Amino acid sequence: MAVVFLYPTIATVWYSFNRMNLVMPWMKGFVGLCNYVDVFTDPRFWNSLRITLYFVGLCVIGSLMLGSGMALFINQSFKGRIIIRIAILVPWALAMCVVSLMWKWMYNDQFGVINAILMQLGLIKDPIGWLQTGTLAIHTAIFIDIWRNTPFVSLLLLAGLQVLPTDLYEAAKVDGANAWRRFISITLPLWKPVILVTILFRTIGAFNWSFDLIYPFTRGGPGNATEVMPLYVYTLYFRNLTYGVASTVAIVMAVIVGIFAVFYVKSIGIKGYV
């Protein structure tokens, strides 16, 4: 564990305090916080951060809303429940790169199925260039991410629902509580720890695996409109070979995700568990 986890982490932290550009191997040296200053004064970094937070925010909220609805729905008993449960899992079973490319072709303006359907239905006259503007591109990407990851969210939430004690509901019914009251006072509070754990996983996932979605989809374009942080770090490391700056951004990323994690874990608390 120590070897696989500690060594790369310490190495990255060390690189972030060094000037390190593979193309100029003779210019190595400890530069203290210089890289951090460079990164925090770089508009491209702030652009990337802003886009990533927006992307992660909407993805988490979207898949949470949808996922909790789905979980509540398939928690009921009805005919064909098993089939629905299996069908819901299909998007999550596909690799993100495959999903990304598949949707990219569907969104293609000339040959894509989405424009074809919209035009057939008469909703649009000319094909829409989905990946042409920054706004359209990022929201399309968010949609794809929600499509692909909601099954995971609904599965976790469903697991949380299934361990809720039924006798509480019966007692509440006897007391005359209606469905909405039962949901607010019984389901939600007991569900809270599972919801928070799900949000934690989903946030980390959206943050880190946005690369798998964005790279095949738009490569960070148009311009830099969909350049999420993992993609930015990848560019700095592998295209520009500026290991010093790249390590700095990587550390900043890790700190941000760490802050989220601490916040969520603190929110769960010990009181949340019955």
Partner 1 sequence: MVRPKTRCKFWIVYVLGMVSLLVSFILCPIFPVSGLAVEKTKLVLDLFEEHKEPMEHTVNKFEQEHPDIDVVLWACPPTMDEHWSKLATLLSAGESTPDIVNIDVIWPPAMASAGWLEPLDEKFLPEEREKYVVAMIKAMTYGGHIWAVPWYMDGGILIWRTDLLEQAGYDPSQPPETWMDMVEQGQRIIEMTNGEVWGFVESMGRDEQIVCNFVEFIYGNNGEIIDEEDNVVVNSPAGVEAAQFMYDLIHKYKVIPPAATGYMLEEARYVFQGGKALFHRNWAYAYGLAQVKGSPLRGKVKAGPLPKFPGGMHATCTGGWNHAINRNSKHKQEAWALIKYISSYEASKERVLMGGRTPARKALFVDKDVVAEYPHYPSYLESYESGVVRPVHPMYLAMGEVMKTELHRVVTGEKTAETALNSMADGLRKILKTFKVK
Site residues (CB under 8 A) for partner 1?
21-27, 108-111, 127, 129-134, 137, 218-224, 235, 238-242
Q: How far is the CB of 79 from partner 1 (least distance, A)?
A: 43
Phi, psi of 19 (to 5 degrees): -85, 120
Nearer to partner 1, 38 or 85 (CB): 38
Would you state the structure tokens that stand for residue 77, as one six-digit string? 């008993």
Q: How far is the CB of 222 from partner 1 (least distance, A)?
A: 4
Nearer to partner 1, 2 or 83 (CB): 2
Nearer to partner 1, 150 or 248 (CB): 248
Q: How far is the CB of 104 from partner 1 (least distance, A)?
A: 8
Q: How far is the CB of 26 from partner 1 (least distance, A)?
A: 5
The string of DSSP letters for the chain reads -IIIIIHHHHHHHHHHTEE-BTT-TT--EE-TTHHHHHHHT-HHHHHHHHHHHHHHHHHHHHHHHHHHHHHHHHHS--TTHHHHHHHHHHHHHS-HHHHHHHHHHHT-TTT-HHHHHHHHTTS-SS---TTTSHHHHHHHHHHHHHHHHHHHHHHHHHHHHHTS-HHHHHHHHHHT--HHHHIIIIIHHHHHHHHHHHHHHHHHHHHHHHHHHHHHHTTT-STTTT--HHHHHHIIIIIS-BHHHHHHHHHHHHHHHHHHHHHHHHHHTTTT--
Nearer to partner 1, 25 or 80 (CB): 25
Q: How far is the CB of 109 from partner 1 (least distance, A)?
A: 4
Nearer to partner 1, 108 or 208 (CB): 108
**Length of the chain counted residue by residue:** 274
Q: How far is the CB of 137 from partner 1 (least distance, A)?
A: 8
Is-contact 18 248, C-beta < 8 A? Answer: no
Nearer to partner 1, 47 or 75 (CB): 47
Listed residue (229, 223, 235) closest to 249, CA to CA: 229
Q: How far is the CB of 128 from partner 1 (least distance, A)?
A: 9
Nearer to partner 1, 116 or 168 (CB): 116
